[in-house]
Structure 1
Amino acid sequence: MIYLTCIICLIISFIITPFIKKLAFKIGATDQPNNRKVHQKIMPRLGGLAIYISFIVGILILRPEGSLLLPILLGSLVMVITGILDDIKDLPAKVKLIGQVIAAIIVVTGGIQVEYINLPFDGRLEFGIFSIPLTIIWIVGVTNAINLIDGLDGLAAGVSSIALISVSIMAIIMGNLFVASLGFILLFSTLGFLYYNFHPAKIFMGDTGALFLGYMISVLSLLGFKNVTFISLIVPIIILGVPISDTFFAIIRRFVNKQPISAPDKSHLHHCLLKVGYSHRKTVLVIYGISALFGIVAILLSKTTMWESFLVILVLMLAIEITVEKIGLIGNDYRPIMKIVKGIQNMTMKL
């Protein structure tokens, strides 16, 4: 049944996206070109609505069993409404953040929380009263990470698809069919839209899609890896390595340059790859490859011993450091940050 549902979601998303495109122009949900954007003409940006509608149809067909389904769907509805309003009206950052926090609170009160993790050598870290704010921060953080990488045709949709593949495979390995079902339904709903979104894009997913996908990926990764070991806790972070690292370095850049965290710039990973000479399409494909590598590493981590996991993480950090220095992801003032990264690497090696 899951296979048929996924195919139906793919077809629905593929069929309704052109209609969503026409709707976007009618209601003014368009993206105007400016000096920090790559596209040169007015583009419709309500494409995420096609993903959402297809996903909901898939849920109605498959009807996955789980007490957490209702809060997840209610939170997703809040995210989608927030995204639609932003695609039409360009909401202030604070208003968008309020919508994200409300969605996160809905799923937290519905029972989705990271309450503790098991540490190496039979230790255990209880989060206690911090479990709620940590869970909310995770959901809001991942949601915005997906939103921030939505800067090139097909980039956010493709990276999200790769993350969903990784999360769904990990859920199958752990025997969590509920998470796997939701992951695959969302994956095929996104792939149907990606046909129109890949370069040269005919429609953007907009905040409707970026907020919805980011929210769902954050929640599914929480459901798949809650209350587990320290190494397993790192797995969803690695799966989302591209958007999380890009967001991390964006925050560092803005801190160094004394800018607001929400301030836009043209120094994200995709901007840097374009600057060093990659074409639009190659830049997206390179980031797809990096995302797939992160996903493979995450799956390998779930099958390794603790010491092997530390070694894999060390190699991954070295690769990130080399990439940052090579393409200037932080900028000219990256050296203090690199000292911190190297310090963490040295600590890992001593372990």
Structure 2
Amino acid sequence: MIDLPLIIDALAVFSISFLVCATVLATRGLHLPFAHRRADTRAVQAAHRVPTPRLGGLALFAGLLCVAVLAPPSLSDSFMTFAIAMLPVFLAGLLEDLGRRISPLGRLLAAAASSGLVIWFLGVWLTRLDVPGIDFLMAFAPFAILFTVFAVVGVCHAFNLIDGLNGLASGAGVLTALGLAAVALRAGDPALAEVGLMIVAALIGFLVFNFPAGRIFLGDAGAYSLGHILAWLSIGLMVHHTDVSPWAMLLIFFWPVADTFFAIWRRQRAGRPTGQPDRLHFHQLVMRAIEILVLGRNVRHVANPLSTAVMLPMIAAPVIAGVLLWNAPLLACLAMIAFGALFVGSYMLGMELAARRVRVPVMHRRAPAPTMRIEVAE
């Protein structure tokens, strides 16, 4: 049965997000010279070559306010309070997007402050992880609160790390929100499911401009806020429905979390600071492989969105597993291990194949290899 009020609400959220993005683009001549930094297109991790507005977070935040107004009565007040609590992380990211150079530590502290406000205002935090021993510690509120803040900050940072291709972070956000909405429906919580679907509508309003052409980016405000919203939506599910497995939630967030942990391990193994950017994220490897093996290096405008299209099914697979195993902690844990092994194995295989491909031209001609380097840029 078609839920007409939900469709109307979703269209309203989509329209708000769409109009904010359109306004940002229409006024780019006013704010882009002020906000743009030459380093943006020359950064080690950059995948674009043209100055682009990084104010997609405005559309997401406007959509969130619209969700708070249109959410079911049982959630409307809480969601408006949540939007207010999100201001520190949103504003810190927005200042960075406007060229104010907020340090990574500063943005992480802002994310922690927002999580602290959510806990203070709403009295909600993680109380279980379905891990023997750790669940005993989670019974102590101070430990559980600190762990909750750490986990949410980690998810915020994870979505920022995967925001490297047109449509990648927002596409992953759509899949994650759909997964959480599906779990909410299976757990008998249509109100939370409706919130998840309206978040999808806000992201689609942004994606119209971001994918495939990349006319506007999420920016730090958008990526951090997206991680914050989705992390707390999953916490709400686990708190209000004790049959929802934390392992299933982790499966739904698998890709950004796995990419972040692997980046930390990779940089520590190389003796580099964990916060130092590089070109070795999974999505960057996929894009370089497409450029090297298929398209060539001068069609970045095609390779960028094509890489996102290649990766979205990979991101969707653990999300689907999380939905199917939403109340089966042991199976969800085993699936998590399996997807982790696949992630690491496919990454290592891709690195080896790409490295071999790069070395071939060097052996046959004197000119430098016409490909982008696989090693970390200094």
> Which residue among 209, 225, 237 is the counterpart of 1:212?
225
1:57 matched to which residue of 2?
66
Q: Does 1:270 pair with 2:274?
A: no
2:126 matched to which residue of 1?
114
> Which residue among 175, 198, 205 is the counterpart of 1:185?
198
SS state at 1:54 partner: helix
1:29 matched to which residue of 2?
35
CA contact (8 A) 1:117 1:228 kept: no
Q: Does 1:78 pair with 2:91?
A: no
The sequence identity of aligned pairs, in percent, is 24
What's the CA shift for 1:151?
0.6
> Which residue among 86, 89, 96 is the counterpart of 2:107?
96
CA contact (8 A) 2:245 2:327 kept: no
Larger Rg: 2
What's the CA shift for 1:86?
1.0
Note the residue ranges of structure 1 that are not aligned, 5 or more in a row: 333-351
1:160-205 per-residue CA deviation (whole Å, 9 max, x = no partner) reads 1111100111111112234223211111011011010012211111
* Amino acid aligned to 1:271: Q
Name the CA distance, whole Å, in 2 between partners of 1:311 and 1:100.
31
Name the CA distance, whole Å, in 2 between partners of 1:172 and 1:83.
32
Name the CA distance, whole Å, in 2 between partners of 1:113 and 1:327.
39
Name the CA distance, whole Å, in 2 between partners of 1:45 and 1:80.
13
1:349 matched to which residue of 2?
none
2:49 matched to which residue of 1?
40
CA RMSD across the alignment: 2.6
**Residues 286 and 92 of structure 1: CA distance in aligned 2, closer, same or farther (over 3 Å):** same
**Residues 255 and 305 of structure 1: CA distance in aligned 2, closer, same or farther (over 3 Å):** closer
CA contact (8 A) 1:164 1:217 kept: yes
CA contact (8 A) 2:130 2:329 kept: no
* Amino acid aligned to 1:34: R
**Residues 213 and 271 of structure 1: CA distance in aligned 2, closer, same or farther (over 3 Å):** same
What's the CA shift for 1:29?
3.1
CA contact (8 A) 1:163 1:239 kept: yes
2:11 matched to which residue of 1?
7
What's the CA shift for 1:242?
1.0
Please show how residues 1-351 of structure 1 align to structure 2 within 5 Å: 1-23=5-27, 25-27=29-31, 28-30=34-36, 32-36=40-44, 37-62=46-71, 64-66=73-75, 68-88=78-98, 89-110=100-121, 111-118=123-130, 125-127=136-138, 128=140, 129-226=142-239, 232-277=245-290, 279-302=303-326, 304=328, 306=330, 308-309=331-332, 311-328=334-351
1:343 matched to which residue of 2?
none
For these two proteins, the number of residue pairs brought into alignment is: 329
Name the CA distance, whole Å, in 2 between partners of 1:46 and 1:289.
27
TM-score, structure 1 as length reference: 0.85
**Residues 305 and 182 of structure 1: CA distance in aligned 2, closer, same or farther (over 3 Å):** closer
* Amino acid aligned to 2:343: I
Name the CA distance, whole Å, in 2 between partners of 1:12 and 1:183.
16
**Residues 15 and 140 of structure 1: CA distance in aligned 2, closer, same or farther (over 3 Å):** same
Q: Which moved more, 1:68-77 or 1:139-148?
A: 68-77
**Residues 252 and 58 of structure 1: CA distance in aligned 2, closer, same or farther (over 3 Å):** same
1:72-129 per-residue CA deviation (whole Å, 9 max, x = no partner) reads 2122222221121110112112221221111010112231211234568xx9634113
